[in-house]
Amino acid sequence: MFRRIYWVSEWIHSDGHSEVHGVYTSIPNLVRQGLSHPNDAKLRLTLTKLDCEQGPFGVWQEPDFDGLQEKLNEFVRTEEISKDQCQMLLDTLMPAAKAA
């Protein structure tokens, strides 16, 4: 299946500049390769559609990734992303929320 959505991981450094760390077509690849970042940087994730002039589906940043779970639920309903993969990403990004 050709993926239509992509995850972009960026590092936002303390001086304000950002750099793209990677572009991923699946949550497992994003979790394995795209979430690490330097200590002086915050992680920002963007979910976007390929070949589209409209803005991204969403942009989320550490520490709380506000609204990410709600957006992921939309993709679970349309079966574009599995519920298990969404939970994997949320558990990785927000381990404190998992324990709550």
Supply the pLDDT for residue 54: 86
Record the pTM: 0.86
Instruction: Render pLDDT for 2-58 as a digit per residue (tens, 0 to 9).
Output: 557 899 999 999 998 999 999 999 999 999 999 988 888 999 999 998 887 888 999
Supply the pLDDT for residue 3: 58
Name the nearest CA neighbour of 94 among 70, 63, 72. 63
* DSSP-derived secondary structure letter, 17: -
Q: Name which residue leads in pLDDT, 96 or 89.
A: 89
Pairing of strands 58-61, 41-49: antiparallel
- At residue 95, φ and ψ (nearest 5 deg) are -60, -30
Task: Give the integer Cα–Cα distance in Å for 96 and 81.
Answer: 23
- Identify the three-state secondary structure at position 58: strand
Task: Give the integer Cα–Cα distance in Å for 42 and 30.
Answer: 16
Task: Give the integer Cα–Cα distance in Å for 82 and 88.
Answer: 10
